[in-house]
Amino acid sequence: MTKHGLIGAALLLAFGTSGCADAATPGPVITNTAELDRALELAKGGERIVLAPGNYGITLSNRQFTKPVTITSQSRDGIAQISRFNVNNVGNLTFERVAIGRPLNAGEPGYSRLADLIESRDILFDHVDFHGSKDGNPGNDGWGLYILGGRNVTVRRSAFSELSRGAVSSRITGLKFEGNSFTTIASDGSNFAAVDDVEIVGNCFTGFSPLPGDHPDAIQFWTQGQTKGSNRIRIADNQLFQGSGDGFQGIFIGGEPNKRNRGFEIVNNLVYVQDQYHGIAVADTDDVVIAGNTVVSIPDHRPLWISVLRVGNADIRDNVTDRILNRESNAIRVANNTVLDDTPGARGKLKDLRAGVTASAAGLTISGRGYQGAPHQCGVGTGARAD
């Protein structure tokens, strides 16, 4: 396993003990998939299903629990593995401190989905290790978590590692990714299409390993194949470090003239990568705020920029970036930005600008402008957090 893959998995043990199964009143301990199926069949709401170390499968459809049913591992030292995961039209379900994923079988393509969550509501993933083969090569892995439809899903304090794509979400209302780590990813960290009321806050992205021809993004929105754009989105307090991996694009909001997005707030994010141009790029979107972000790279022939294309009504303010591009847009207000291409002396204020893999968030921060720190901090150039 790569260094970044180890970091992602280790995050499950690095957090505090809040919500840990060890501290809860123990129930019957499940030891195999048949017992798990039976426990879910009998559950009404509020049960805590405890899994002994081992390998399990979950296929659950058309269940609406009255209160959250929690599936968790017996102990922090014996994380249960869920290798088959298919949840369809289910309400009130929590997965806590488990691992979800598997290697691909022979002949399975890289877009194979390792965990399907379809048309479900009030779902929580907390301290979950979403993973692929763990052989150090994300190029032979599938998608970690696939969410289609439904409402009110939260993924927090979880790790996505050794996957072709970390998480793909579409047509859902009410979605939150908070305090997660995305490491050793071959293509995109997180994808979103036709989603509403979404928060992407306090996540760390690092150590990407794209295949030839890939244009990986840490956070990407698209409209292709959808009937609408995305609405009411907050992207805040995220850290995007290249680390020892290859360059990847940062926050990329794509649309189409007839399927526009609306209501994007992109604030207090740190993007520090090489070999790409798009640090924060927004197209075909109305009512946008891009404020207080730091989007920079080691000085070379490829500036890392903030760009808007066919955007209507946007504030671009208080950012630190190599360059700002405004194309075919209207009602754009640009103020109080530090643009390094225009003011070369400003580069000296970023003490870690040339540090590469050893750069820290603190060394890329200018007081009062750009990224100003966040509750979840990545480690030095790695994506590991210190919380």
Q: Give yes or no for residue 145 having a pLDDT over 90.
A: yes
Render pLDDT for 202-260 as a digit per residue (tens, 0 to 9): 999 999 998 877 889 999 999 999 999 999 999 999 999 998 888 899 999 999 999 99
Higher pLDDT, 151 or 387: 151
Instruction: Residue 111: name the closest of 187, 225, 193, 213 by CA.
Output: 187
Question: How large a percentage of the chain has pLDDT more than 90?
Answer: 83
pLDDT of residue 244: 86
pLDDT of residue 212: 79
Tell me the average pLDDT across 348-352: 94
Instruction: List the Cα angle 9/11/17 in 5-degree steps.
Output: 125
Render pLDDT for 159-214 as a digit per residue (tens, 0 to 9): 999 999 999 999 999 999 999 999 999 999 999 999 999 999 999 999 999 887 78
- 38: helix, strand or coil: helix
Average pLDDT over all residues of the chain: 90
pLDDT of residue 18: 37
Residue 17 pLDDT grade (very low, low, confident, very high; cuts 50, 70, 90): very low
304 CB contacts (<8 Å, ≥6 apart)? Answer: 250, 271, 273, 276, 277, 278, 279, 295, 296, 297, 321, 322, 323
Number of H helices, E strands in the chain: 2, 32
Indicate the pairing of strand 285-291 with strand 261-267: parallel
pLDDT of residue 379: 60
What architecture (CATH level 2) is domain 3-364?
3 Solenoid (2.160)
Burial 27-63 (b: 16+ CB within 10 A, else e): eeebeebebbbebbeebeeebbbbbeeeebebebeeb
Render pLDDT for 295-327 as a digit per residue (tens, 0 to 9): 999 988 799 999 999 999 999 999 999 999 999
pLDDT of residue 27: 63
pLDDT of residue 110: 94
Render pLDDT for 18-65 as a digit per residue (tens, 0 to 9): 344 444 345 689 999 999 999 999 999 999 999 999 999 999 999 999
